Structure 1
Amino acid sequence: MAVKICTKCGESNSEGSLLCVACGSSLKDAPIEGTLNADKEYPGSTTAAKCNHCNEHLEQGALKCRYCGTVVTRRAKSTPYYSYHTPSNAERSGSSGMETFGRGCLWLILGTVGLLFLAFLTHSTINIPWFIFIPIVILVFWLAAKKSK
């Protein structure tokens, strides 16, 4: 890493600095020591890669083999990521929210039909019109379903 040395106080500053961090003077003509980041070379892998098809050496960073034209494939250098799924309470119990909703609606419908059937069989003497009776029955079953949860 290259650093600029302040000519007034001698403080080391990063190579892109325009002012000294210690005294605030200009670093326009300050000498640079070390290798500039732009001049550094990062060789990457030191072992030469080989073509999987013709077994010839590949140039650094090549995408295709210059001898046979095969596209170069490289393995990922990172470790694979494994996701661990933790089941929710509904999955552990074996029933989803939709199944529970379906069972609740089934009992609501069957209960309403059963009560209507019972009322017609016994010829009930209660003088409640059917368009008022059905919403009352639905309300009762809905409240019962809410309390059972």
Structure 2
Amino acid sequence: MTLDQRFAHHLAPIIIAGRTIKRYHLCADPTPMPPGIAEAAYRYVPHLVPAFTPGEPHATVTVLHQTSPTQAHLNAYSWRGHGLVHCRTATGDAGGFARTSGPVTGCVWELPVVMHERAAFHRHMLSGPGDIDAYLADALTRATADV
């Protein structure tokens, strides 16, 4: 079994549903995600993130993985409590997204992002007084994310 390379693109964080969203796009080639797919995905994010609870980190990491020219999977990893991550997923296209049924966490191409984000969360939020701004600024770069 062979796996084709995927390219990770980090985008600037945005605020959705009271959470700061660290965004990554995964594509089969270096070209950006089609805008219609990305726009539909981010409109759906409020359905994937848990309600914000005071005292919890307000950060969510999304991985939007283009699986064909017109479709993508959207994974939302929200930090809860003291180092817990809450994952919900959806699949869709420029026309809209819907929750994925079944227990899905991510695929082989998405996990390098998850691994980086876990390490960054530990580095900035659990190994000291907790610096959310430093965590949000710590992103996996395109150069190191090619799988």
TM-score above 0.5, yes or no:
no
- Structure that is richer in helix per residue: 1
Instruction: Give TM-score scaled by structure 1 length.
Output: 0.23
Q: Which has the larger radius of gyration?
A: 1
Instruction: Give TM-score scaled by structure 2 length.
Output: 0.23
- Structure that is richer in strand per residue: 2
More relative contact order, 1 or 2 (CA 8 Å, 6+ apart): 2
